[in-house]
Homo-oligomer: A and B are copies of this chain.
């Protein structure tokens, strides 16, 4: 099986993406980041998800995005909370981390190049998402084009692909797809602002979108929440 680099956060979307990469016939190399996120506990879940999926190589890269500031996920600025997913506003929210997906994909590109992989999976989706600019199809296409000019593989005629299999799926559809592929969502966490107890807050954008997805899929989210 050819190798593929899979960005793995420990969340629902990337766990599903990992299962899809396997289903597509790749040998996944998982790549996670310790970037100063307040929800760094997600890395433990990333390790569990990788183990459950039989991943042979899981690379965790340390980078520190905190000196840049500008995001509620890497500073002490409060994470916005709502009561219902429908209340999530338009525009780019404060949880947006400047250039985060670009930085993550750039490291994935370096790893792909050294591991001989031509495929990079990322679990972004453009429906039921938070309005981040770096989760859109035209952004991913532009990154792929740049990647093919940036690297040895691109110069030598190999074709690098950025694969975002969740891009046009609703959260409901993502969950249904993952369950069909045997993903154990009890091993995943999505919360931007988990409690010291380990419970997810239940009211940040990520929790609300996740819980609505499970409700719409007619199944139970197996993880603990603080808010009902």
A interface with B by C-beta (< 8 Å): 59, 61-65, 67-70, 92, 96-103, 105-107, 109-111, 113-114, 133-134, 136, 138-139, 142-143, 145-147, 149-152, 154-155
B61, B64, B102, B155: the one contacting A106 at CB < 8 Å is B102
**Known A102-B109, A114-B69: A96·B139 in contact at CB below 8 Å:** no
Q: How many copies does the complex hold?
A: 2
Checking B68, B111, B142, B152 against A149 with a beta-carbon cut-off of 8 angstroms, the contacting residue is B142
Asked if A155 contacts B142 (CB within 8 A), the reply is no
Interface centre among A100, A111, A136 (most CB of B within 10 A): A111
The smallest C-beta distance from A90 to any residue of chain B, in angstroms, reads 12
Q: Is the CB of B113 within 8 A of A109?
A: no
Is A146 touching B142 in the complex (CB atoms < 8 A)? yes
Tell whether, in the assembled complex, residue A155 and residue B92 are in contact, meaning their CB atoms are under 8 Å apart.
yes
* A105 cross-chain contacts in B, Cβ below 8 A: 106
- A64, B61: Cβ atoms closer than 8 Å: yes
Q: What is the CB-to-nearest-CB distance from A95 to chain B, in angstroms, rounded to a whole number?
A: 12
Chain B residues, CB < 8 A from A154: 133
Q: Once the chains bind, are A113 and B98 in contact (CB under 8 Å)?
A: yes
A106 CA / B106 CA spacing, docked (Å): 7
Q: Do the beta carbons of A151 and B98 come within 8 Å of each other?
A: yes
Q: How far is the CA of A155 from the CA of B152 in the complex (A)?
A: 31
Q: Across the interface, do A103 and B110 meet the contact criterion of CB distance under 8 Å? A: yes
Q: Is the CB of A139 within 8 A of B133?
A: no
Complex CA distance for A199 and B42, rounded to whole angstroms: 46
Q: A99-B107, A133-B154, A145-B146 are in contact. List 4 more A-B contacts (CB 8 A).
A: A105-B106, A134-B149, A139-B150, A142-B145
A106-B99 CB under 8 A given contacts A61-B64, A133-B151: yes
Query: Contact between A70 and B149 (Cβ–Cβ < 8 Å)?
Result: no
Q: Contact: A113 with B147, CB < 8 Å?
A: no
The answer to whether B149 touches A136 (Cβ under 8 A) is yes
A108 CB to nearest chain B CB (Å): 9
